[in-house]
Amino acid sequence: MDNDLTGLIYESFGQGTHGPDSQSALSLAYIGDCIYDLVVRTVLITHEGGKNGSLHNKAKKVVNASAQADLFDAIEADLTEEETKVYHRGRNAKNSSSAKNASIVAYRKATGLEALIGYLYLDGRYDRIVELMKLGFERTGQMDNRRE
């Protein structure tokens, strides 16, 4: 198995029998939220370092429902049919949580995006996660001012 994080987890703990296709949309969003945050934080810390408080504040500007909804809008046309279906599953999932600092539309879009990221992660398609996020950041300019 490759020396990637998911591969190491599967090697150490076993792969289990629940692949991405068998996960609920909200389970995909749960793990996708973590992966999205991990990518953003990795970019921030490796490009500029800095104090944790400063990094956290910069990450908060990008890792929130409104920013994620904007990113989704920027990449929607680039999604495959399969990716669009996964996104819709996440967006339409019944969630007991509610939007705190965003509209319900933005919150649902963000949940759909997180479900897509989670699906791609569990399927081992890290290159596609990075490709979509990079494309979205370039189109929205969300990561342009990392050094604020």
- Answer whether 118's CB lies under 8 Å from 54's CB: no
Query: pTM of the prediction?
Result: 0.88
Under 8 Å between Cβ of 2 and 91: no
pLDDT band at 17 (very low <50, low <70, confident <90, very high): low
Tell me the pLDDT of the chain averaged across its residues: 89
What's the pLDDT tens digit per position in 40-62?
Answer: 999 998 887 777 778 888 888 89
Mind listing the pLDDT tens digit for each residue in 80-116? Answer: 999 999 999 999 998 877 777 889 899 999 999 999 9
Choose which CATH entry (1.10.1520.10, 3.40.980.10, 1.20.120.1200, 1.10.287.130) describes domain 27-140: 1.10.1520.10
Residue 82: CB atoms within 10 Å: 11
Catalytic residue numbers? Answer: 33
Binned at pLDDT 50, 70 and 90, residue 120 comes out as: very high
Percent of the chain past pLDDT 90, that is, above it, reads: 61
- C-alpha distances out from residue 89 to 9, 27, 103, 124, 135, Å: 26, 11, 19, 19, 22
